[in-house]
Structure 1
Amino acid sequence: MTYEQLELTQQTRALSWANHTLSQAETQMARNVASLPFVFKHVALMPDVHLGKGALVGSVVATKDALIPAAIGVDIGCGMCAIQMPFKSAKLDGKLKQIRQDIESRIPVGFNENNEADKQVLNWQGWQDFKHLHNGVSHLAGKAMRQMGSLGGGNHFIEVCIDETDSVWLMLHSGSRNIGNMLAQRHMSTGRELARMAGERLPDRDLAYFVEGTEEFAAYWRDLQWAQAYAKYNRDVMMARFKAIVERHAVGGKPTKPVLSVNCHHNYAEKEVHYGEEVYVTRKGAVRAQENDYGIIPGSMGAKSYIVKGKGCAESYCSCSHGAGRRLSRSKAKKTYTLDDLVQQTEGVECRKDEGILDEIPAAYKPIEQVMANQNDLVEVVATLKQVVCVKG
């Protein structure tokens, strides 16, 4: 699909890969972001775009000399990790329930955390820089260590999947846990206070920003990069535990070498070159899809997921969607569907089937097949996955 051009302001446009007309609230949120004077060229909206806080989830914003924390979000560095295992699904026959139970006993989910940090966690080089982070999180060092290697809640998940060649894949979705959230909240609060003191009239108070060259910008950029690294390593720690569990059941605990490994953020910011200029690119619910970049686009817990390779589309700032995108809010999903609906829609998947995850029912999400069809100019599909085990936060 080619994009649709939306005229939001006289200066800045939005290019949308969604196959639907944005709601009034979504259009206004895109217009708010596009109206900021430092936004570069245009805003790119991915096929799974939907309402967020301050900025749309599924939006890509390039800026010159400024950063908007809300255009990244509070779960800094949230993203996906997947590995293709060197064996077929027959190795898992009759073992799926035990694998799920072992994952749940080994990897904390929801608000739970590890009792103590293990050797892999303690060896992370990032701890050396913790003392340089925002002074409002100095008391959270112990919690950050214990949460390293934990999943979190909401739409975070761990899955065993099978692809179209019958190969086994391990996949998980998580971010920077409480420490990333706390860092983001503190910097957003600082940005709002700066705007208030300057008497600046923002289209949305959540779009407070930092200007390059200021102390506040430097502090946010430092903490942002740290939290992104924390999130990536958090996924590595969980994947190592996850892989060992599956290997114990599938091949008697013998370590194996993955055929392919992918670990990518979808809530983050980096310096990149686009249209010949160096800019800050913030992706909120979007994955980098430069030419030959590997990415992961998951569906809901009852639908297909995709391993993809980027095509380097300039108009999208070399980006693609990060998933199916929600169709219903969590509260609306709980009011609309029953436990029987959840059981029916997750048939064939070894997972929890209780009201605690009713807000994650597959029908609460957009059809992933349509989302993929809308971005065939952004990515090519490398593998199509279907989960057989799903552990939710």
Structure 2
Amino acid sequence: MPYSELDLSSPAPVLSWAGHPLASDETRMAKNVASLPFIFKHVALMPDVHLGKGALVGSVIATKEAIIPAAVGVDIGCGMCAIKTPFGADQLEGKLKKIRQDIEAQIPVGFNENDEVEKSVTNWQGWRQFKELHPGVQRLEGKAMKQLGSLGGGNHFIELCLDRENQVWLMLHSGSRNIGNMLAQNHINTAKDLAKLAGLSLPDQDLAAFVTGTPEFAAYWHDLQWAQEYARFNREVMMARFKRIIELHLAGGKPTKPLLSVNCHHNYAEKEVHYGEAVYVTRKGAVRAREEDYGIIPGSMGTKSYIVKGKGNHESYCSCSHGAGRAMSRNKAKLQYTLDDLIQQTQGIECRKDEGVLDEIPAAYKPIDQVMDNQADLVEVVATLKQVVCVKG
């Protein structure tokens, strides 16, 4: 279904692909953003939209001469990576448990980091700029090095999947780890302090912005681009490791060539041209979907995921959803569901089945099929994937 324009009486319109009315606190959040003086044209809400900090997760915010650091969020550059392999489902027979154990042994998850820094990480060009990053992160270079090639926690995951032709895919979801979080927090605090000093009356403190032409904007933009590259490379390092594990199990360690590779952010900002004007586009839980852009839209740890190609829809600023989107908070999921529910909803999947991942139970997410139906004008489906192994952060 196409979008609908929400009746918010805000200075800028809000276009929604959600296909359902927003809750009152979501409506308030959308209106707050649409009331900011530097919003360009309109705000676009994706089908997986839900509550966030300052701005809704699943919103695309185009701005003129300003950017909101809290709208980009604290996991700068968080996104997805996937490759299609030449392997078939039959080659996985009896190997899933061992594959999962090898992934868990070789890719640190949660707060963990690598014991040793591998050569590709040491050689990353981004380290040359580290001294130019915010003074508040200068003590973290060693930690950032050790965390490059690690998954993190929350809804981050590594999955071995099969498509409808029984072809094996590798997929993972991660961001810029502690360094991205610390950079974001330092800049968000600066933006809030500046708003206070200027006596600005903001509908929400988390909508404090930097204005172009100021040193604060320049510093944030520089650090943002750095963290986005760190996040992208973090996914590449993990994917290379993941690929080697699969090749060891399925090809005797012989390197193979991916049939398709996708690496896309869904928490980030870029300068782009829309409606003939150069603007800053913040995708807070949204994937760029220009014509021919490949994207990844995961469901949950028990449902389908999609590899998509963009249709270049200008009303959405050439964007689509970044996943199914949460239907309930982590706390609510833990209260509402039991370990038995989790076991039932992840039947047939080699994954953790304990209370530590109860907040990630599939039922805590919106139905992915509905989310996909609501964005038929934004993307076309290239492949439908179902996981057989899932490693959670």
1:197 aligns with 2:197: yes
Amino acid at match of 1:199: G
TM-score of the two chains, using structure 2 as the length reference: 0.99
1:175–1:231 contact (8 Å) kept in structure 2: yes
Aligned to 2:336: 336
What TM-score do you get using the length of structure 1 for normalisation?
0.99
Question: How does 1:301-316 map onto structure 2 within 5 Å?
Answer: 301-316=301-316
Correspondence for 1:45: 45
Q: Is the 8 A contact 1:192 1:206 kept in 2?
A: yes
Give the 3-state SS of the residue equivalent to 1:49 in structure 2: strand
Are residue 87 (structure 1) and residue 79 (structure 2) matched?
Answer: no
**Cα distance change on mapping 1:10 and 1:326 into 2, 3 Å:** closer
Q: Is residue 294 of structure 2 the alignment partner of residue 294 of structure 1?
A: yes
The equivalent of 2:4 in structure 1 is 4
1:104 equivalent in structure 2: 104
After superposing the two structures, state which structure 1 stretch, 306-315 or 1-10, moved more: 1-10
CA distance in 1: counterparts of 2:195 and 2:391, whole angstroms: 42
Q: Whole-Å Cα distance in 1 between the matches of residues 166 and 354 of structure 2?
A: 29
Q: Give SS of 1:115's match.
A: coil
Query: Secondary structure of the residue that 1:257 maps to in structure 2?
Result: coil
Shift of 1:2: 0.7
- Verify the 8 A CA contact 1:38 1:63 in the aligned structure 2: yes
What corresponds to 2:345 in structure 1? Answer: 345
Contact preservation (8 Å) 2:312, 2:378: yes
**1:366, 1:112 → 2: CA distance?**
30
Are residue 359 (structure 1) and residue 359 (structure 2) matched? yes
Gaps of 5+ in 1: none
Aligned to 1:378: 378
Query: Can you give the 5+ residue segments of structure 2 that lack an aligned partner in the other structure?
Result: none
SS of the aligned residue for 2:5 comes to strand
* C-alpha distance after superposition, 1:25-57 (max 9, x if no partner): 001001111111000000000000000000000
Q: Give me the whole-angstrom Cα distance separating, in 2, the residues matched to 1:101 and 1:20.
A: 41
Residues 319-367 of structure 1 show CA distances to partners (whole Å, capped at 9, x for unaligned) of 0000000011000000000000000000010000000000000000000
1:8, CA displacement in angstroms? 2.7
Alignment correspondent of 1:390: 390
- Classify the secondary structure of the residue corresponding to 1:281: strand
Check whether the contact 2:43–2:61 (CA below 8 A) recurs between aligned residues: yes
Question: How far is 1:210 from its partner?
Answer: 0.2
Distance in 2, matches of 1:370 and 1:52, equals 21
Structure 2 letter corresponding to 1:5 = E
CA–CA separation in structure 2 for the residues paired with 1:238 and 1:87: 19
Q: Distance in 1 between matches of 2:10 and 2:141?
A: 47
In structure 1, the residue matched to 2:27 is: 27
Q: Distance in 2 between matches of 1:11 and 1:300?
A: 36
User: Are the aligned partners of 1:91 and 1:251 in contact in 2 as well (CA < 8 Å)?
Assistant: no
CA distance, structure 2, for counterparts of residue 322 and residue 212 of structure 1: 28
* Cα deviation digits, residues 212-270 of structure 1 (max 9, x gap): 00000000000000000000000000000000001100111100000000000000000
Ranges of 4+ aligned residues in structure 1 off by more than 3 Å: none
1:220-259 counterparts in 2 under 5 A? 220-259=220-259
Mapped partners of 1:99, 1:295: distance in 2: 26
Q: Do the aligned residues in 1 keep the contact of 2:71 with 2:206 (CA within 8 Å)?
A: no
| Aligned match of 1:178 | 178
Aligned length: 393
1:114 alignment partner in structure 2: 114
- State the Cα distance separating 1:211 from its structure 2 match: 0.2
1:10 positional shift: 4.5
2:194 corresponds to which letter in structure 1? L
CA distance in 1, matches of 2:157, 2:147: 15
What is the identity, as a one-letter code, of the residue corresponding to 1:246?
Answer: I
Q: Identity over the aligned pairs, expressed in percent?
A: 76
Cα distance in structure 2, aligned partners of 1:4 and 1:236: 37
**Counterpart code for 2:252:** G
The question of whether the paired residues in 2 share the 8 Å contact of 1:9 and 1:35 is answered with no
Secondary structure at 2:390's aligned position in 1? strand
CA distance in 2, matches of 1:218, 1:245: 41
- SS of the residue 2:100 aligns to: helix
CA RMSD of aligned residues (A): 0.6
- Matched residue, 1:150: 150
Q: Distance in 2 between matches of 1:328 and 1:251?
A: 42
Query: In structure 2, what residue type is equivalent to 1:64?
Result: K
Is 1:58 the counterpart of 2:58? The answer is: yes
